[in-house]
Chains A and B, each alone.
Chain A
């Protein structure tokens, strides 16, 4: 018993040292990347200063922000939502439509859209949370589907239908426009992911976050304590939806167009994949899952058309040519065999490593 405790102390002590230093080093390195000439063949399409690579990395960081907001739902409140893309899409399309129709400056436009996202998440969350568990999953899916249909139908020629909506760059400050300024967008994405991480951490440590976690474990007990699980879950739901909306606006600036896929159920499912791959309940797991998913998704397409795969017999080549087949299979395997995802497995490996070191020292 005492040995277990001392190991935990060792783990936490080393973790806290790493916990302060590692993120700062990581942030500094990430911030400097656009100024450096680093190549990672196979993983990145080119040297780190090139717009293509910066675009991919910025996308990965925005996906990490979104995965963090999804982590609030699934990892903190235990809510399995299939409609999170709706709030992201509301941010993407909302900003696109407001800039296109009203031509107001970027800052007030973003404020208006953000308020809209908060209201949307509040209204739909209030209805969806009337049911829990699997029915909740189905209902969120249905609402998101309505949003997806709305985007595709192009009501009042606002959303551009299947083609999507291009960003009206008029009201956008010059330093955020054009390929030559991709590094600015990259830095914006980096700030987004850092801010999101801090906000999510703050929400988790707030009273609502604690109660939500307690609700996930034991709803009855929370009710006995005189707190309404419904209201707490709604707070988390709205927080997650609002973050997603905010990230959506940055996404529009980065991609400079809004397309219907950002509201689709498949988009939410990809968020689910990221969080589960990373490890449900872990913040940095969500970030890692999102980055790995985004890079894999991008690079697996390149792998599919590579000479190596094209040279394989058809029965092997066919599945390898479909990135989503590989990701889907990987996901099934993770759920079946690595329930803790990347974060859980790393933690287990570290514990084993520390245990091993402990016993070898003892001998």
Chain B
């Protein structure tokens, strides 16, 4: 590689420094929706990781063959293929997890982390590096979802991985496991990171286009800039 990034750095950057959920603020929908319990969060994380690693490898191998103009639809087909495989595997071996994740398994297709890594990393690097990147990003995603799921499960249901926690199991704060709690716990996690790093870790001050996988193809940023100009005029 031209800028001599070590293999280890590729592997580890996704876990802490560029954690997709907590630092890059990507993949918000599955993060909020599947972290009502620790096991669900981990299940979602592992499923998405499997898809991410496979799609990263295949896309990096195909990157030279795919014409530039149709690359996004091609990436989506590759990703959707692997999502279908994961869907079958979950349905066959862990039907209970399949039932509780439900709609969010097929929706891995539109997870912006996966498309984002395809566009930003896999299409420009070799298969081995892309696999490492997939493993790192996937671990970061799984870790973040697992931690958020654990927090919401402990406070919302008074259990951790199904095991009762003393005191809290008698006084669960149910709202934490429900929809508003998802937004709130995520907000607190980001605020905590801001607090401990003095606001340096999270570059993104607002949800916007910078991190979005589609940024290079869709003209949202341009459109929104035009809209704002229109509003001012």
Q: Do A and B come from one complex?
A: no
Q: Residues of A at under 8 Å CB distance from B?
A: none
